[in-house]
Structure 1
């Protein structure tokens, strides 16, 4: 079997050894005689998987006892609504930083529940950069400051958390979750769809600081949309296979040096690609250098009539998923944690050859 060089933006590449482990266990998990997806989510076998995943995530991120970890469904799009439903009233204000498509969707949902101050927007710049702290126009007494840490479509990323003068951050971390260390104490909520760096599609990881949770609304929220409903229990059937694979990915991250090593590895892969993009004007990046993502490298050809040929030739070399998002065009190489350095080197070699 020939494995592709997978540059898909999501669902994305998973570590090969985690797939192989899942393959070996698929028909008989933990000696149960059943697949993990056939077992009760309240049975001993799955409960242990759930416990391990929570403990590993707590350890990897350094969360301590002051955070709750929830395994939900619905993706980041569900959280766009669920966060303001729980934490934003009609007379309250939240600050939102608009750096792309997903930020805009979060802003749209939040406006249904309370006041939204757009503290910064790069829309007029075609979302080619993220702001410096000095560019943020924050609201005194805001309930929270929401930002999207990495923009999968336009290829920008915050290199560090925005400075908010102590106001809790709420972060859509879907596309750079677990790719680098975080200053976790700056956050009220971190949420992420698993399908970029953490596992298969279907699982949403939500991390909430306990003191922030206490400030949320006490009533008027449908049961399943209230974060408190999900504390310490499985209110409804969790995405069993997603949590199972997430636990394996967490074990792989620990085995390979944790988040510091992930950050170093991802920075190296990104630099290989950006060096080739910047070599001359045959290729060009779409974002300002200081805002460039280490997860989604976006670029264009100077002669866009060659776009079709580029993709066709890339496919012949087993380089998959390079077409840019339909809303912006061009090309995008998503190089999440599980994308091997060898795959990036193969792409760079192809780019050199295509130019020649």
Structure 2
């Protein structure tokens, strides 16, 4: 039975990448060492990290005045690192509250003595739509923090909000490399790798160099300037995670790049959303204009039905469609490595489940 993993992260990887990992594990490039054993100071790893950086720059058209940094600690660590490095003029940032991860970013920024102003929130709408800027704020901010794709709530920005010349800092974890954005629209982009780029343990930061040039006396593991100078190797980096990311980036290039991924993700999500919109049992609660391409949230309104559905889906080879505990219901994450056939199978199963349900009621 073909199995499809709809997990929000750690998420599915391309089959060819998994096969390459398998081949490289015993002896990487005939070195006699596993890729998990090679030194981060070796020529073997220098080649891995440089190629990964080069491929990422090519895929996202990253200008030379931006640094590509590899961290550990997830975006949760970057919620502290970003204000420490960037919020040094006003010690004040703006934030659009689009859900759980935006609030987490606010909480962490406050812990490092940064004032956070929520300019708009859709909490009262249960985050079923995105917050927008209706008034131009008069206060001065070091940056505006947004979450481009809300993994839990199933919303995503297509057009990036702006406050004049204020830099935009984006948590792009769950649609990084799956939806086309212009890097120059951002001062900083952060993304955990475990959704579209590889495995847990690696976080990518793409940051404009002049934004962190004046930060001083920061903890070493949070210092963008230090990591830029040391090519992300101030300490031992997550060697294996960077290696896997390099394989995924190579795969992405072979598939046609980010724009091709966006087209595929649009096609996959359209298939599922079209079914949900026609359904009398399932509902997709997110405002249509704000729907995510990569994280599709849907509900029945009945917890017992949801539980039956999730259990039967697992038996059908459709794994990890249970919604986040904060939202409930179901969620299908359609990241780059999820094939169209997986979504077809999911829609077929949902249709059968609905037909059986109405046959009993």
CA shift for structure 1 position 89:
4.3
Structure 1, gaps ≥5 residues long: none
CA distance in 2, matches of 1:186, 1:227: 19
- In structure 2, relative to structure 1, the CA distance for the partners of 1:232 and 1:86 (3 Å cut) is closer
What does 1:1-356 correspond to in 2, within 5 Å? 4-89=3-88, 91-112=90-111, 113-132=113-132, 134-135=133-134, 138-214=137-213, 216-219=214-217, 221-233=218-230, 234-356=233-355
CA distance in 2, matches of 1:22, 1:305: 40
CA shift for structure 1 position 109:
1.4
Aligned to 2:29, the other structure's residue is in SS state coil
Does the 8 A contact of 2:152 with 2:324 survive in 1?
A: yes
- In structure 2, relative to structure 1, the CA distance for the partners of 1:143 and 1:270 (3 Å cut) is same
CA distance in 2, matches of 1:261, 1:237: 34
Count of aligned residue pairs for this structure pair: 352
Does the 8 A contact of 1:70 with 1:207 survive in 2?
A: yes
Q: Deviations over 1:9-60 (max 9, x none)?
A: 1000011101101101111101101111101100010110000000000111
Does the 8 A contact of 1:128 with 1:286 survive in 2?
A: yes
Moved over 4 A (4+): none
CA distance in 2, matches of 1:138, 1:177: 28
What CA RMSD, in Å, does the superposition of the two structures yield over aligned residues?
1.4
CA shift for structure 1 position 118:
0.7
CA distance in 2, matches of 1:94, 1:248: 36
CA distance in 2, matches of 1:217, 1:138: 26
Q: Deviations over 1:104-139 (max 9, x none)?
A: 01011112322211111111111111134x436535
CA distance in 2, matches of 1:139, 1:39: 53
CA shift for structure 1 position 302:
4.2
Aligned to 1:298, the other structure's residue is in SS state strand
Scaled by the length of structure 2, what TM-score is found? Answer: 0.94
CA distance in 1, matches of 2:104, 2:142: 19
Aligned to 2:58, the other structure's residue is in SS state helix
Does the 8 A contact of 1:174 with 1:192 survive in 2?
A: yes
Greater CA drift, 2-11 or 193-202: 2-11
Scaled by the length of structure 1, what TM-score is found? Answer: 0.96
